[in-house]
Amino acid sequence: MLVPVLPCPDPCGPALTCASVVQARARALHDRLRDNVVSNIFREFERTGYIWEQYDDRTGAGKGSHPFTGWSALVVAIMAERY
């Protein structure tokens, strides 16, 4: 589905469209999420020596079964941005 590109009212200015503003925000959120996932899995691997099945949503601590290289192993693909 194509998103219509509409002129964005101020403060975006005439050079930017609403779609480009949304895309920029989505890219920034993507980058932040990617960095957080990669750094948390790596930090827990350094701390425990394991890649975990789950990570605590508040502390980031690994939990569940280990060693686990299912979904958590996709961090390598995330690091390479090959997904």
pLDDT in tens, 26-56: 999 989 998 998 899 889 999 999 888 888 9
Q: How confident is the model at residue 59 (pLDDT cuts 50, 70, 90)?
A: very high
54 part of a folded domain: yes
pLDDT surpassing 70 at residue 80: yes
- 10 Å CB burial of residue 24 (0-12, 13-18, 19+) is exposed
12 part of a folded domain: no
**3-state DSSP call for residue 17?**
strand
Cβ atoms within 10 Å, residue 38: 14
Domain that holds residue 54: 37-83
- pLDDT in the model for residue 51: 86
56 part of a folded domain: yes
Percent of the chain with pLDDT over 90: 22
11 part of a folded domain: no
5 part of a folded domain: no
Mean pLDDT of 1-20: 59
Q: How many domains does the chain have?
A: 1
